[in-house]
Amino acid sequence: MPPNAVNWLNSDNNSDFLNRNILMTINATMSIPSSQQEDKEIYFNQMRTIEFPNNPNGAKPTYLVSIKQPVIFTSSANSKLGKEFLSYLIKPDNLGAYIKGAKGRYFPIMPQLWQDPFWSNTKDPHISVASKQFTEYKTRLFENSINSSYSQINLDKIWAEAMKQILIEGLSSTEVTDIAIERITEIFSQW
């Protein structure tokens, strides 16, 4: 792990991967491969999207999914137009074209869109693997979609701080775990 990883911002894992400072990174979107689609050598031969390994018990992993939701504020000047636009956008043909136009950065939530050969083309070493993860394996939402407390945990960087305390400050994993649990318990009690 690069020493500066404890200071990374949201996109720094992408940058460090693309700059070849790290060998691999976990990414919740297809932003890394989609950013390289114009360079066929890199896209097809120098990078791969792979499935997670099986769990220690041999079972396939459960993949985390994030569902993006639009918001139209009732007090906005054009809320009616916003609703009309969203009604247009969420029609399967339109949403399918939009997501494909984003070069597969996101995966469609509508099962009928999965039938498009774009998502299962095994000649694409990235999109077909991501599609398989969402269509053939168990998935679940990120915790912050289920309970708002997790949003505060992420905002407070509890996990990053724990890693920093172990890797940089030399605290024991037991001590850091106790600190993290105490803070998480405090956050949950406020919700």
* Number of Cβ within a 10 Å radius of residue 48: 11
pLDDT of residue 26: 86
Q: Which residues pair with 64 in a beta bridge?
A: 140
CB 8 within 8 A of CB 82: no
CB 12 within 8 A of CB 27: no
- Which positions ≥6 away from 37 have C-beta within 8 Å? 43, 103
Q: Which residues pair with 140 in a beta bridge?
A: 64
Torsion region of 157: left, alpha or beta (phi above 0 gives left; psi -120 to 50 gives alpha) = left
Residue of 9 and 175 predicted with greater confidence: 175
pLDDT digits (tens, 9 = 90+) for 77-107: 999 999 999 999 999 999 999 998 888 788 8
Could you tell me the two tokens for 82?
């916003």
Provide the mean pLDDT of the chain.
91
Q: Mean pLDDT lowest for which of 69-73, 104-108, 148-152, 172-176?
A: 104-108
Q: Is the model's pLDDT at 2 over the cut of 80?
A: no
Domain ranges of the chain: 3-141, 144-191
pLDDT digits (tens, 9 = 90+) for 139-148: 999 888 888 8
Sign of CA pseudo-dihedral 181, 177, 56, 62: positive
pLDDT of residue 87: 96
pLDDT of residue 7: 80
* Number of Cβ within a 10 Å radius of residue 124: 19
For residue 47, the 8-state DSSP code is -
Q: Which of the four pLDDT bands, split at 50, 70 and 90, describes residue 28?
A: confident
Helix or strand (DSSP H, E) at 9: none
Q: pTM of the full predicted structure? A: 0.74
Q: Is the model's pLDDT at 60 over the cut of 80?
A: yes
pLDDT digits (tens, 9 = 90+) for 30-50: 889 989 999 999 999 999 999
